[in-house]
A and B are shown apart, each in its own frame.
Chain A
Amino acid sequence: MTNEKTTSHSIKHHEAELSVWPPMVGLSSLLMIFGFMIAFQWKLPSMGMLVGGAGVVMLIISLFGWTSEVYKSSFEAGLSKTAIIVFILSEVALFGGLFGGYLYNMFPAPEWPPINTPKDVPPLGTALILSVFLLSSSWTIHKAEAHLEEGNTGGFKGWLFLTILLGGIFLIGQAVEWSSLIHEGFNVSTNSFGTFFYTITGFHGSHVLVGIILQVFILIIASRGRINRERPTIVRACGYYWHFVDGLWLLVLSLIYVLPSY
């Protein structure tokens, strides 16, 4: 690969690019929001589902259109690696705010978790088992990247698939844990621990989900032959993000599961 900087600067400059996809994504986000508002504020759930659903469909179409446009150009500047690190810093701030709020509520509380929390909450055992799956997926995605660097696209796809599988097991496990807890009568409204428990594990889980969607997406475009040794940036970016999500789990585990258990 030639020097990334000179590549980006020697782009043919007499052409101005137009793209329909940014305004389409903007519009689809507006539709999804109207969906929520119609369902929750104006109490018309089915109407809201319809509008919000249209927004989701439009979003998916737009994102595919967007990426195929990006992959039409014949070079990549490799700027996404810097960008994803910058973006992860903002995620640190988001979770910093949530954990800060959690500790802000925990320290003055006479008892943590509050007395009306059911006995086996938080379920530390389940969480520890799930950790094994999630943390080992950090290793598998690392293997996948190493294979890609060697030019072994087959090995890359195999290890990536394993990563998706491990992440998927984690998510399913967490969904099962949630539903059994709700069955026991521990939900978001039980007390402030319930509120924070579901919100923080839910925010983390949604990040796992985004990571998995990204990996599935990479697997799809890799099977179309668009990912190779020369264009590894999106894989690199996805790898950084996945390591961040895994590292974050350690914090969730220690603050939400371990700390209240002692």
Chain B
Amino acid sequence: MECSAHNKKCSGIKSWLFTTDHKKIAVMYLTVSLVVFVLALALAAVMKIEHWSGGKDIIDAKTYNVFFTIHGAGMILWWIIPVFTGFFANLLVPLMIGSRDVAFPRLNALSFWFFVAATVMAVLALVTPGRLDIGWTGYPPYSLQSGSNLSLYVFAVHMLGASSLASAVNFITTIITMRAPGMTWGRLNLTIWGIFGANIIQLFGIPVLAGAVTLLLFDKYLGTNFYNAAMGGSSMLYQHLFWFYAHPAVYVVALPAFGVISEIVSTFSRKKIYGYTSMAIAIMVITFLGFDVWIHHLFTKGVEDWARIVQSLLTIMIGVPTGIKVFNWLATMHQGKIEFRSPMLYAVGFITMFVIGGVTGVGNGLISIDLHVHDTWWLVAHFHFVLSLAMTTVAFAGIYYWFPKFTGRLYNERLANISFWFILIGAIFAFGPLFEVGLKGMPRRYWAYPHEFTGPFRVSVVGGYILIIGFLLTLINIIRSAFKGERTTANPWNAKSLEWTIPSPPPHYNFEEIPVITEGPYEFGKK
């Protein structure tokens, strides 16, 4: 089936359902991700009310377990990872490397439909009998014994895995083979470097996770003994295999996010990104180093000392390339003509939250500190700053930054800025107090708490609601502006990168003529 620009087949529901156009697929990814984001946010809202007093407020312990399972899995596997590997990758890779689509457009559509299939299962896991209460990690032996419908968990991971694996093959092939003439590796946007690194991690990590959960399925339904210690198996094996992917998964999010921030900081400082080469090298170093730190999730689980010490050192070493990035952003802003449009505001907010989360992360990487804070609210606060909030802030920054490009309309600047302050202040109050609660030894994943923690928990509840209002304001902004926003031009930010040289929104073939590239994407100050 084909359609031309003046044909009816190009609009209407079929043009979306059967599309192979990377830009439409990107928008569909964003839509599904945002739906799950709102769902997981609603669960968080209920859990926050439950934290108002130490005992029971509105839900029981079992429901609380189901809620944090779906909240965690939804936020990580459906929102923050796909918004980068699904939405941003699909939207930006062909536009930034100068090609008309990805290498395999149909496979790309299939990735999206696998993602939808996984979403159906996630929703079923919340509402059908045998609701999942096993945490997003699904550790055995509890996950095998809890009586919840484990097959939903396993197959949702399989579908997401198939989706991400197809995407990884697709995008790696695209970036290697379909760059426009003159688009050398040294002229790629840092976002493309980030997406390239992220997909390498997906490629090596996902099969291991898929294998681990498959063995869980076999143990539960076919009577195997992988995780059954009584028959010579080991439940620790699952934790190793799980974190072999699930730790690098945070870099799947972080690497493209670093790229997005680099684009925004460079554009709104009107300066070339400081230390392009060191940024690209740092991305690739994190890609590979990221696979050698998973044991820091298992410091308290009886792993040999040599492994703990080696991986503790490697964990801290990851702070080095990450720190290089933060300093490079600051150096890019230094003496630049900074323009605080919303994306830039979000980018600077990201750096703040990321430093809070990152510094506490280096602390967690030390075995002695980790032994004390392991599985406490400290951890919850740490990863909400570094992963959830910092990365969601980047996602919003990126959505606002490229909003004119993929919709052809402008967002509401004032509402975006108000939303930003709600998010930043909400984040600090929602998760700041939890550092203290955790340091004092309160374990995570409990629905109740001793009365001496009432104060910090109540601050956190109020902060959480400020945060949720902030998120909702951005959602309203996105949806409203997509239909009613002011029309805009091809390059409203006067940015230098390739995607801004074509109309907004781009025609489905992207480039009338495949461009010949003669310089890098951050050449500000040149005519």
Residues of A within 8 A of B (CB): 5, 8-9, 11, 13-23, 25-27, 29-30, 33, 36-37, 40-41, 66, 69-70, 77, 79, 82-83, 86-87, 89-91, 93-94, 96-98, 100-101, 104-105, 109, 114, 188-189, 191-196, 198-199
Binds A, one of B50-58, B97-105, B359-367: B97-105
> Which candidate, B236-244, B334-342, B444-452, is the interface stretch facing chain A?
B236-244
User: B96 in the interface, Cβ–Cβ < 8 Å?
Assistant: no
Q: Is B208 a contact of A16 with CB atoms below 8 Å?
A: no
Q: Write the nearest CB–CB distance from A73 to chain B, whole angstroms.
A: 11
A and B contact pairs by CB, cutoff 8 A, 27 listed: A13-B100, A18-B9, A19-B18, A22-B110, A23-B17, A23-B109, A26-B113, A27-B117, A37-B155, A40-B151, A79-B104, A79-B173, A82-B176, A86-B168, A90-B165, A90-B169, A90-B203, A90-B204, A90-B206, A97-B208, A101-B240, A109-B232, A189-B223, A192-B228, A195-B225, A195-B233, A199-B226
Q: Are the C-beta atoms of B104 and A83 separated by less than 8 Å? A: yes
Give bound CA distance, A98 to B170, whole Å: 25
Q: CA of A191 to CA of B234 in the docked complex: distance in angstroms?
A: 12
Distance in Å: Cβ of A82 to nearest Cβ of chain B = 5
- Could you list which residues of chain B lie within 8 angstroms of chain A, going by C-beta atoms? 1-5, 9-10, 14-15, 17-21, 99-100, 103-107, 109-110, 112-114, 116-117, 120-121, 130, 149-152, 155, 158-159, 162, 165, 168-170, 172-173, 176-178, 203-208, 210-212, 215, 218, 221-226, 228, 231-234, 237, 240-241, 244, 508-509, 512, 514
Residue of A nearest to B176 (CB): A82
Partner of B20, one of A11, A22, A41, A189: A22
Q: Given the complex of chains A and B, what is the CA–CA distance between A27 and B212 in angstroms?
A: 25
User: How many Å from the CB of A189 to the closest CB on chain B?
Assistant: 4
Least CB distance, A238 to chain B, in whole angstroms: 16
- Is A192 within 8 A of B232, CB to CB? yes
> Given known contacts A70-B106, A101-B241, what 4 new A-B pairs fall within 8 Å (CB)?
A5-B178, A23-B18, A90-B207, A193-B232
Note all chain B residues with C-beta closer than 8 A to A13.
100, 509, 512
Residues of A within 8 A of B205 (CB): 93
Considering the complex of A and B, which 7 residue pairs feature the smallest CB-CB distances, nearest first? A26-B113, A13-B509, A94-B207, A192-B232, A22-B109, A97-B208, A22-B110
Contact B159 A33 (CB under 8 A): yes
Report whether over half of chain B's contact residues are helix, strand or loop; otherwise say mixed.
Answer: helix
Q: A83 and B173: CB pair below 8 A?
A: yes
CA distance A20 to B204 in the complex (A): 30
Are A91 and B173 also in contact (CB < 8 A) when A19-B20, A104-B240, A109-B232 are? no
